[in-house]
Amino acid sequence: MIITDGNSFPSLTGPFITVGVFDGVHLGHRALLDQLVLKASQAGRMSVVITFDPHPKLVLGGSKNNLAFLSTPEEKKELLGKSGIDHLVIIPFTRELASMEGRQFISEILVDRMGAGFLLVGYDNHFGKGRDTGFESISRHAARYGLETEQVKGLSGPDGVISSTTIRNALLDGRLDVANSCLGYSYSLTGTVVPGNRLGNSLGFPTANLKPPLYKLVPADGVYAVEVNIDEKTYGGMLSIGMNPTVNNDRNKKTVEVHIFDFGGDLYGQAVTVVFRYRLRDERKFDNLEQLAAQMRLDKIESLRLLT
């Protein structure tokens, strides 16, 4: 698969194209991509996905304090690369691009620059300034250039049609099972190990404190059974997200800490990936450290049971 930008796109004959942000590359996205690959193959054409970097919400203004995405740009590339498409085109998202009307995007980007022969549109796709162009308008504008279009239906999940928004909400509500079922894989987070207060050592549960990437969604506070990937090796573990209310009075200091089973190495400064498999419980405040340690022993037992 070729990863390129729109300005150096190779000359293709009528490629089959779809366009989207594809945050998380969830099952709804996969259904769209499967259709694209199938239709392109049947027609003897190349399949092309157009996406954007940075995420449009980072460019369009407004507060960025609450922005959180399911995938980093690198994670999205990796997930799209597993979908079977022939080409991934990453277009820089700028204010100039954001001001382009839908018909202009179709004519200048899809037709003139990409030479599109077929456009497959997601159930909620909108093009152009202010998302002003829905499927009916897309079809009408595309027809002027002989560009055939088709829209796929949304894929249903536990909370209705699967979308990146519903998955983000499920993760923030602590409904990990719902989020993972809609993603089609277990949600993960890669963070850099940074120094902590070393409280876990005194309790018999040393932890690695993770600093997540900027704008990567951190799931709801609580305790999780996780898989931990370090240098291409996988370990079991239990992870806590929250304020550590038993020992910490600073309600603005959230931590992401993982205790890795059967691991004793030094991880400071390294990147560690945690894969969220099960949510065990909410975060709780205990009366003392002995109660906290006793609960952590129970959490480890339950994590080992679930992960084996």
Structure tokens at 294: 């006793």
Structure tokens at 252: 């603005």
Whole-model pTM?
0.93
Which helix (H) or strand (E) is 210 found in, with range? strand 208-211
Please state, as a whole number, how many other Cβ atoms lie within 10 Å of the Cβ of residue 308. 6
Please state, as a whole number, how many other Cβ atoms lie within 10 Å of the Cβ of residue 166. 19
Which helix (H) or strand (E) is 301 found in, with range? helix 289-307
Residue 104 burial (C-beta neighbours within 10 Å; 0-12, 13-18, 19+): middle
What are the structural domains of the chain? 2-161 (3.40.50.620), 187-307 (2.40.30.30)
For position 307, what pLDDT does the model report?
A: 98
Please report, for residues 64, 194, 281, the alpha-carbon distance to residue 5 in angstroms, rounded to integers and kept in the order given.
26, 34, 44
**Cα distance between residue 234 and residue 115, in whole Å:** 44
Q: Do residues 51 and 82 lie in contact, with contact meaning Cβ atoms separated by under 8 Å? A: no
Scan for tokens 């203004």, then name that residue.
61
pLDDT tens sequence for the chain (308 residues)? 677 666 677 778 999 999 999 999 999 999 999 999 999 999 999 999 999 999 999 998 766 778 999 999 999 999 999 999 999 999 999 999 989 988 899 999 999 989 999 999 998 887 777 666 678 888 998 999 999 999 999 999 999 999 999 999 999 999 999 999 999 999 999 999 998 877 778 788 999 999 999 999 999 999 999 999 999 999 999 999 998 888 776 666 889 999 999 998 889 999 999 999 999 999 999 999 999 999 999 999 999 999 99
For position 247, what pLDDT does the model report?
A: 79
Q: What is the DSSP letter of 69?
A: B
pLDDT per position as a tens digit, 15-35: 999 999 999 999 999 999 999
Instruction: Please give the mean pLDDT across all residues of the chain.
Output: 92
